[in-house]
């Protein structure tokens, strides 16, 4: 039988994991929050709980080796599933190969202990297979958070998974430190009790951290819907307008800026002849030609229809002319392929820089619009300014 302290800790951990599983199912099916990641977390929690129950029950069964084998595979599958969750959160392709390879290795190696391998090495082999899976989950979580925030915050959020990895590694080296001891969750040793306490706490923390990441992804998605144009994935009119207001406020403190306003040429004719699907593809191609010319501090937004506005920070009229000309050349060099049709894409550009007499960004925008109108009148596919 389990000692009282170990039995209590295993029961508490199983209860916490099952409650977490129910909450993740609510996330997946009730709230529709990151369904794949939520289902993965629900599965991982229930598999870990099952592995703990199987490990605790095996002492009272006639054929404990069956339970040992089932617990080994269930626990390994749980950590393999957990290693895929960060990729599902990021909505990218999960790293299937390593988790699958380690699960297959567990499937092949664990029966050896049933057939007579020394049981003192059972825990070492098992946890050496499971620890890399948690290490992979920790690394994937770090990469996910690091792509959106500072390294210190990413380390803090991935730390619980890293700590769980170290916990499994400690279990793996226990037989090396204490050769006469066989790692067993039924043991009432101080090491085992401390290990179970750490597992209970870290299990709660890991679930909390992943839930936090799910909510962060939800907030980022809502932010994207409110700030970005859904077709071209550049700033919408409201967001680029706010960026322009902020740039004008910085100009009052001595930071210049310039604007590039462009309009795709003959866009209505393209829509009328090839259809709106081709028009949408043309707008995406236009954005693809513009983005390489836009720096991190600049802002690119859809001003309306086929009009786009680029805010160039710390740039004067000459710099804006160079950027606009690169954009014009990039677009002209990328014809639109639509079925058997091939269409040359061009745009007209108006540029303007902020001047001392400009009391508002609208004045700068008006001059850029006048330059755009002049480019249209002069034959299109040109860059013009109006000062």
The pLDDT, as a whole number, for residue 193 is: 83
Give the residue numbers marked as catalytic. 306
Average pLDDT over residues 340-354: 94
The pLDDT, as a whole number, for residue 57 is: 63
Tell me the pLDDT of the chain averaged across its residues. 90
The pLDDT, as a whole number, for residue 1 is: 43
**Using one digit for the tens of pLDDT, what is the confidence trace for 277-326?**
999 999 999 999 999 999 999 999 999 999 999 999 999 999 999 999 99
**Of 55-69, 269-283, 295-309, the least confident:** 55-69
Average pLDDT over residues 32-55: 93
Asked whether the beta carbons of 67 and 39 are under 8 A apart, the reply is no
Between 184 and 281, the more confident residue is 281
Asked whether the beta carbons of 342 and 335 are under 8 A apart, the reply is yes
Res. 62: pLDDT tops 70? no
The pLDDT, as a whole number, for residue 60 is: 45
The pLDDT, as a whole number, for residue 387 is: 60
- Give kind and range of the element (H or E) at residue 111: helix 111-114
Res. 220: pLDDT tops 60? yes
Average pLDDT over residues 255-269: 96
Res. 374: pLDDT tops 70? yes
Distance CA 117, CA 345 (A): 71
Q: Which residues are paired to 348 by β-bridges? A: 263
**Using one digit for the tens of pLDDT, what is the confidence trace for 147-174?**
878 889 889 989 999 999 999 998 888 8
Residue owning tokens 């299109």: 380
Between 120 and 47, the more confident residue is 47
Q: How confident is the model at residue 15 (pLDDT cuts 50, 70, 90)?
A: very high
- Give kind and range of the element (H or E) at residue 383: strand 383-385
Q: What is the pTM of this model?
A: 0.71
**Using one digit for the tens of pLDDT, what is the confidence trace for 89-147?**
988 889 999 999 999 999 999 888 877 788 778 888 999 999 999 999 999 999 988 88
Nearest alpha-carbon partner for 262 in 352, 151, 336 = 352
Nearest alpha-carbon partner for 260 in 321, 174, 199 = 321
**Using one digit for the tens of pLDDT, what is the confidence trace for 121-135?**
888 899 999 999 999
């Amino acid at each position: 039988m389990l000692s009282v302290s170990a039995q209590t800790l295993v029961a508490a951990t199983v209860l916490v994991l099952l409650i977490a599983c129910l909450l993740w199912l609510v996330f997946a099916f009730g709230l529709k929050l990151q369904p794949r990641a939520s289902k993965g977390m629900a599965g991982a929690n229930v598999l870990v709980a099952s592995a703990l129950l199987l490990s605790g029950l095996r002492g009272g069964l006639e054929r404990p080796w069956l339970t040992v084998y089932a617990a080994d595979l269930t626990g390994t599958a749980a950590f393999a599933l957990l290693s895929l969750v960060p990729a599902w959160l990021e909505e990218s392709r999960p790293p299937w190969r390593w988790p699958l390879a380690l699960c297959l290795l567990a499937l092949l190696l664990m029966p050896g202990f049933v057939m007579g391998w020394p049981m003192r090495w059972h825990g070492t082999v098992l946890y050496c297979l499971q620890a890399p899976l948690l290490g992979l989950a920790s690394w994937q979580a770090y990469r996910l958070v690091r792509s959106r925030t500072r390294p210190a915050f990413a380390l803090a959020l991935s730390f619980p998974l890293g700590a769980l990895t170290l916990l499994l590694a400690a279990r793996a080296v226990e037989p090396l430190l204490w050769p006469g001891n066989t790692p067993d969750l039924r043991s009432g040793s101080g090491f085992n009790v401390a290990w179970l306490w750490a597992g209970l706490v870290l299990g709660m923390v890991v679930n909390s951290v992943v839930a936090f990441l799910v909510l962060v992804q939800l907030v980022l998605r809502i932010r994207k819907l409110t700030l970005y144009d859904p077709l071209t994935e550049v700033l919408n009119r409201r967001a680029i307008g706010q960026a322009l207001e902020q740039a004008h406020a910085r100009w009052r403190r001595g930071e210049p800026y310039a604007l590039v306003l462009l309009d795709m040429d003959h866009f209505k004719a393209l829509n009328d002849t090839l259809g709106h699907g081709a028009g949408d593809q043309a707008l995406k191609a236009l954005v693809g030609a513009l983005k390489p010319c836009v720096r991190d501090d600049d802002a690119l937004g859809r001003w309306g229809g086929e009009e786009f506005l680029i805010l160039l920070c710390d740039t004067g009229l000459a710099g804006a002319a160079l950027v606009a000309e690169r954009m014009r050349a990039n677009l002209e060099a990328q014809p639109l392929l639509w079925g058997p049709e091939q269409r040359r894409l061009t745009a007209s550009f108006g540029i303007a820089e902020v001047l001392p007499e400009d009391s508002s960004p609208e004045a700068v925008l008006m001059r850029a619009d006048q330059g755009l109108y002049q480019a249209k009148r002069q034959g299109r596919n040109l860059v013009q300014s109006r000062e």
